[in-house]
Amino acid sequence: MEHSKIIIGYFIYLPIVIALTIFVSKMLFKNGKLFMIDIFKGKEDIALATNKLFEIGFYLINIGFALYTMKIFHYGNNPMSSQTLIEILSKKLGGFTIYLGIMLFFNLFLFFRGRKKSRTTTKTVYNPQINS
Amino acid sequence: MNLNIITYCIYLPVIIFITVRIGWICYKNGELFLKNLFKDKAIVKSINNLLLLGYYLTNIGYAIITISYWETIHNVVEVISSLTFTLGKIILILAALHYNNIFLLQLTHKHKFLKQ
């Protein structure tokens, strides 16, 4: 019975982390669709396909990271107190939430860069045609 | 039920309420500035949503992570003093971020204005 607190910790950690990842990626790629359509200059089928692929990649990276850092280390013979459990869980969940926020900002940065890049290439491609 | 757990139970709702409230106010009032920066109306809305989400994730994540570094609490006086110290620290960080944001907005606003 000495590991029961650790198992409780896992059962609290996993649903929160997976639900948070799904919610954030749903939000991100619902709002990112507009950027993708902008980047691919209105070709909607390619834009939506790329969006879906990015979404799958986001799930893979984040749920993989969450599972990788799940293990709770506890040394010593006496069973874990609930205060220690709360502190360990807060460290893991808070760290994961900050990581997710940084990933979100990184993706947003990628969207901005893609939009900027597609705009500059449009200008250089279309200018000779206008001149000729 | 020891005093540390009671402190966490007071701390978490307060800090989450403060973070959500400030984020919501900035979300409402920042939209005008973003509209100034970008022409497209739909994209302004999605950028604003994503910025709000990122703000929530990083700040609530930091608020949760401070629990794991909390000192051991022996009596009620220490409950109050550690609570006020940590809350004050996080609110000061929020204030610093907020002023930084205002400064950046003013800078980009001026830049845009000069360009036109």
Q: What is the pLDDT along chain B (116 residues), one digit of tens a residue?
A: 688 899 999 999 999 999 999 999 988 888 888 888 777 788 888 888 999 999 999 999 999 999 988 888 888 888 899 999 999 999 999 999 889 888 888 887 777 666 65
* pLDDT over threshold 90, residue A64: yes
In this complex, the residue of B60, B68, B70 whose CB is nearest that of residue A97 is B60
| Range A95-103 average pLDDT | 93
Q: Chain-wide mean pLDDT for chain A?
A: 85
pLDDT value at A132 more than 50: no
Residue A104 has its nearest CB partner, among B5, B42, B57, at B57
CA-CA distance, A3 to A79, in Å (whole number)?
7
CA distance A107 to chain B (A): 10
Inform me whether the pLDDT recorded for A3 exceeds 80: no
Q: How many CB pairs under 8 A join A and B?
A: 82
Q: How far away is chain A from the Cα of B21, in angstroms, using its nearest Cα?
A: 18
% of chain A at pLDDT higher than 70: 90
Per the structure, the count of domains in chain B is 1
Parse chain A into domains and list their residue ranges.
4-131
Q: What is the mean pLDDT of residues A40-62?
A: 88
Q: Any CB–CB contact under 8 A between A14 and chain B? A: no
Which domain range does residue B16 map to? Answer: 3-115
What pLDDT is recorded for position A1? Answer: 57
Report the pLDDT value the prediction gives residue B115, as an integer from 0 to 100. Answer: 62
Q: Does the pLDDT at position A105 exceed 70?
A: yes
Tell whether A34 is within 8 A of chain B (Cβ): yes
Cβ-Cβ contacts under 8 Å for A58 (sequence gap 6 or more): A21, A25, A28, A29, A103, A107
For residue A13, CA distances in Å to A69, A82, A97, B94 come to: 11, 15, 12, 27
